[in-house]
Structure 1
Amino acid sequence: MDIVFDTQQEAADFYRRMPSSFRQVTGVMLINSRLAVFPQKTADYREFAQLITRYIIEKYEKKWIMFIIEKYYYFTDAEEKVTILNIVAAIFSGEKDDLPHTGTLQDRHETIMASLEGVLKEHNTFSFQSIIRFRLTAYREVLRQYVEIAIDEYKLEQEYQVFVDKLRRIVHAYKPLCEKIEVYDEHPFKLFDEHHRLIRNVQSVRSFYPLLKQWGIEAEPSIILSLIALAPKQVIVYTDRPEHGMMKTLHRVFEERVCFARRTLHLGNGSDYSG
């Protein structure tokens, strides 16, 4: 079986990437711009398909993803494209497997492998470029689906950043109303004032929501908005999960005003906060 490349350099590059054990077992020979391969068993064909798949992904995938981002979704800013590309890479690596629909997408490796199966067994000679041009339609469609999910995630992250920025500006725009608020990470959260009195009266918090609308914020009540309404100089959060998304948002909004400490089991006997 011969696989022909456009250039001698590309053929040599592919040859060097092949494990020496596979080259020895299948008797691979590099002859100018082509490779002669002599697979004997079904396992040899599958391993060769895996090597071609890995080469395609390493050499072409990033470029094709960037093309899809610009051609089909009209992102032309270089920084935005790189950000979306990084989200796609995070999905591939399993770092974002909680995103919607990622579990239903086809595995891109297996998609390429399926496209190669007939070619390797039915043709004694074929060109690598013919695979690239005509055999990878399903793979490119899978990439497009991954990009679409990444763009949705990117837009959500942008909205989140705008939301956090608005909240941060509100924090800086108004004078603090109290020295310190202590937050105990329980369900629900418990808030104490600087005298360690439990804050129960949330009328002042509820009256804060019309002000939020003036800033263009439509949001449901949350611990973050409650803290902004109470406007403390300092926020101490007792938690065992400082890396949780809520805690990270608290830190982004209140910046140097917030600090995290290990959650204690005893809340004390404080009296109610009357507002």
Structure 2
Amino acid sequence: MEIVFDTQQEAADFYRRLPSSFRQVTGVLLINSRLAVFPDKTADYKEFAQLITRYIIEHHEKDWIMTIIEKYYYFTEPEEQVAILNIVFAIFAGEKNDLPQTETLKDRRETIMESLEGILKEHNTFSFESIIRFRLIAYKEALRQYVEIAIDEYKLEQEYQVFIDKLRRIIRAYKPLCEKIEVYDEHPFRLYDDHHRLIRNVQSVRSFYPLLKQWGIEAEPSIVLTLIALAPKQVIVYTDRPEHGMMKTLHHVFEDRVCFVASTLHLSSGSGATQ
């Protein structure tokens, strides 16, 4: 089998990235801009396909994703492009498994591997450029789908950030009704003021919600908005789930005003709160 590259440099670069064990087993020869490979068994073909796949991903994937972001979806600002690119990479790394759309997407490596199966076994000579141009249609379409999902996530993150910024401005604008609030992550949440008194009159706090419309915020009552209505200088949250979305939102909104304490630590020391 012989692969023809566009340049000697590209051929040499590909050759250097082949494991020495594979080069020895398959008798790889580098001749100018050509690479001669002599796979002996099915496992050799599969390993070679994996190596080509890795090379394509390492050398071309980022540029192709950036092209899709700009040419197909018209994001031209470098900052936005990088943000979307990072979300795509996070999806690849399995860090965005909470996005339901990703469940239907096929693994991009498998997509490339399937595209290479025929050409490696059926052709004695082919160019690497032909793989790039004609064999990766399904892979590039998969990349487009990944980018589309990343853009949707990016827009949601932007909307979330705008929401958080508005809530921060509200906290700064309003006079605190309490110096300190203690929050107990239970069902429902329990709030205590700075005199360790249970805040019972939630209805009066909820009268704050219509005022949010003045800030362009449409939101249902929640523990976050209740705390914003009170605008305390300090929030202590007793919880065993600091990574939960609600807790992250509290942290984003109140920033250095909030701290999280394990519920077990509080229970071991006693609440001291009066009801």
Give me the TM-score of the superposition, normalised by structure 2: 0.96
Shift of 1:165: 0.2
Closer, same or farther in 2 for the Cα pair 1:235/1:269, shift >3 Å? closer
1:81 match: 81
Gaps of 5+ in 1: none
Shift of 1:210: 1.2
Q: Which amino acid is 2:199 matched to? A: I
Q: Distance in 2 between matches of 1:30 and 1:248?
A: 54
Q: Distance in 1 between matches of 2:32 and 2:202?
A: 78
Shift of 1:249: 1.6
2:110 match: 110
Give me the TM-score of the superposition, normalised by structure 1: 0.96
Look up the SS of the partner of 2:59 in the other structure. helix
Would you say 1:237 and 2:237 are equivalent positions? yes
Residue pair 2:192, 2:273 contacting (<8 A) in 1 also: no
Q: Distance in 1 between matches of 2:214 and 2:95?
A: 37
Shift of 1:204: 2.0
2:274 match: 270
Would you say 1:209 and 2:209 are equivalent positions? yes
Q: CA RMSD in A?
A: 1.1
Look up the SS of the partner of 1:178 in the other structure. coil
**Range with greater deviation from structure 2 (6-15 or 92-101):** 92-101
Q: Which amino acid is 2:233 matched to? A: K
Would you say 1:70 and 2:74 are equivalent positions? no
2:162 match: 162
Closer, same or farther in 2 for the Cα pair 1:9/1:269, shift >3 Å? closer
1:226 match: 226
Q: Distance in 1 between matches of 2:121 and 2:254?
A: 62
1:8-48 Cα offsets, whole Å, 9 max, x none, are 00000000000000000000000000100000101111111
Q: Which amino acid is 1:224 matched to? A: V
Q: Distance in 1 between matches of 2:55 and 2:257?
A: 50
Q: Distance in 1 between matches of 2:260 and 2:23?
A: 57
Runs of 4+ in 1 over 3 A off after TM superposition: 266-269
Q: Which amino acid is 2:188 matched to? A: P
Shift of 1:164: 0.3
Look up the SS of the partner of 1:199 in the other structure. coil
Shift of 1:144: 0.4
1:21 match: 21
2:37 match: 37
Shift of 1:257: 2.0
Look up the SS of the partner of 2:45 in the other structure. helix
Shift of 1:260: 2.1
Residue pair 1:204, 1:229 contacting (<8 A) in 2 also: no
1:46-88 Cα offsets, whole Å, 9 max, x none, are 1111111110000000000000001111100001101100100
Look up the SS of the partner of 1:164 in the other structure. helix
Q: Distance in 2 between matches of 1:105 and 1:207?
A: 45
| Residue correspondences, number | 271
Q: Distance in 2 between matches of 1:123 and 1:143?
A: 27
Shift of 1:244: 2.7
Q: Distance in 2 between matches of 1:71 and 1:10?
A: 26
Shift of 1:195: 1.5
Q: Which amino acid is 1:200 matched to? A: R
1:171-211 Cα offsets, whole Å, 9 max, x none, are 00111112211101122211011121111211222210111
Q: Which amino acid is 1:6 matched to? A: D
Would you say 1:48 and 2:52 are equivalent positions? no
2:258 match: 258
Q: Quick check: which one's helix share is greater?
A: 2
Q: Distance in 2 between matches of 1:204 and 1:230?
A: 11
Q: Which amino acid is 1:40 matched to? A: D
1:118-142 Cα offsets, whole Å, 9 max, x none, are 1011100000001101110000000
Q: Which amino acid is 2:234 matched to? A: Q
Q: Distance in 2 between matches of 1:48 and 1:255?
A: 51
2:184 match: 184
Q: Which amino acid is 2:227 matched to? A: L
Residue pair 1:3, 1:35 contacting (<8 A) in 2 also: yes
